[in-house]
Amino acid sequence: MVTARKGRGGRGPPRPRVVDGGGGSMVSRVAVLAFCVAGIWSAYITQGVLQETLSTKRFGPEARRFDHLAFLNFAQNVVCFVWSFIMIKLWSSGGSSSAGRAPLRKYWGVSITNTVGPAMGIEALKFISYPAQVLAKSSKMIPVMLMGTILYGVKYTFPEYICTFLVAGGVSSFALLKTSSKTIKKLANPNAPLGYTLCFLNLAFDGYTNSTQDLIKSRYPKTNPWDIMLGMNLWGTIYNAVIMFVAPLLFSNWPYANGFEAVRFCQENPEVAWDILLFCLCGAVGQNFIFLTISRFGSLTNTTITTTRKFMSIVISSVISGNPLSLKQWGSVVMVFSGLSLQIFLKWKRKKVRDHKE
């Protein structure tokens, strides 16, 4: 959401280039992997449940909705900024030296898309269900392949097109199938076309954010994940503070989220404040496990874990949060994750070929 790209690391925190499973026995490697899986699953599944609760539940004696979902991004920025600052102090062995690391000013531009994109993804929950949002945001490969083909003339293999067909077909069929009345009643303003549009715009902004973060890391090789997390969330905090607290003071009819109203709602409903704090902590802690997974087992293992986590989030949302899915909708879910699983398998095969050549 408002965190560093899950990629290569530098000095200090775990370095993703070290893909040796920790160098211990098979038992210790399995134990570390299980620890990573448990950490990623528990952190992000809990965060998903909290996100869905905050977007659908009614609070207080007046049964009011928490309509200020964009405030979650501001809170996440603040918590992740503090968290990354603490992690840098704990992990960095090079003191406060910034040699070879990207200066904070380098993050101001990319932080704009990292602020706008996740805000769109969260706002989508006003219009579509949480399972629908998870599925839509799982289709990142579609805009990547479209942009690659149309703008850069990239040629993809037939199995890669099969992956895209499965994901696109699954998301499309899920969107076209009728949503249960129980799920629709929980939404603030049901509007599937708008909800899916916001999700796909979120993916487009994320694509730019990720590419720019990669460029920063290539230019400043000693920049580690916590440096990126710190820079992104510093600027994200500033942007969101201006949008949510300064703009409402300057414009009486400010149409976007109002930070003052969000804080007032939390004061009147402390349960919401605690849910927001836990939501933010889950995101920050989850990043720890992602960095650890990449450093010990590589990005492909991390992708596999996070993909299965998304499937489990949909299952839990259906069973626990009361979002029943029809048999046809479950077929669409299986179709999407079959495409994602095939994509992971193709990446694994390419990696094996590269390793063999080396």
Block means of pLDDT (10 residues each) for the chain, 358 residues, are 46 44 69 93 94 92 91 95 91 62 92 93 93 89 75 81 90 86 86 93 87 86 89 95 93 84 95 96 92 84 88 88 84 93 88 78
CA dist 121 and 201 (Å) reads: 8
Place of tokens 């009643």: 185
Closest CA to 310 of 172, 160, 166, 139: 139
CA distance 347 to 2: 26
CA distances from 35 to 40, 182, 264, 286 (A): 9, 36, 39, 12
Tell me the C-alpha to C-alpha distance, in Å, between residue 286 and each of 35, 36, 190: 12, 9, 30
Distances (CA, A) of 354 to 38, 104, 141, 351, 357: 30, 36, 22, 5, 5
| pTM attached to this predicted model | 0.82
Per-residue pLDDT, 358: 66
Q: Is 313 left (phi over 0), alpha (psi -120 to 50) or beta?
A: alpha
Amino acid (one-letter) located at 155: K
pLDDT at res. 213: 85
- Sequence-separated (6 or more) residues with CB below 8 Å from residue 14: 291, 292, 294, 295, 296
pLDDT (0 to 100) of residue 236 = 95
Rounded to whole angstroms, the Cα distance separating 16 from 161 reads 29
Please state the φ and ψ torsions of residue 246, each to the nearest 5 degrees: -85, -50
Structure tokens at 24: 């211990």
- 């969101």: which residue's tokens? 240
CA distance 66 to 85: 30
Q: Are 333 and 135 in contact (CB under 8 A)?
A: yes
- Phi and psi angles of residue 65, each rounded to the nearest 5 degrees, phi first: -85, 150
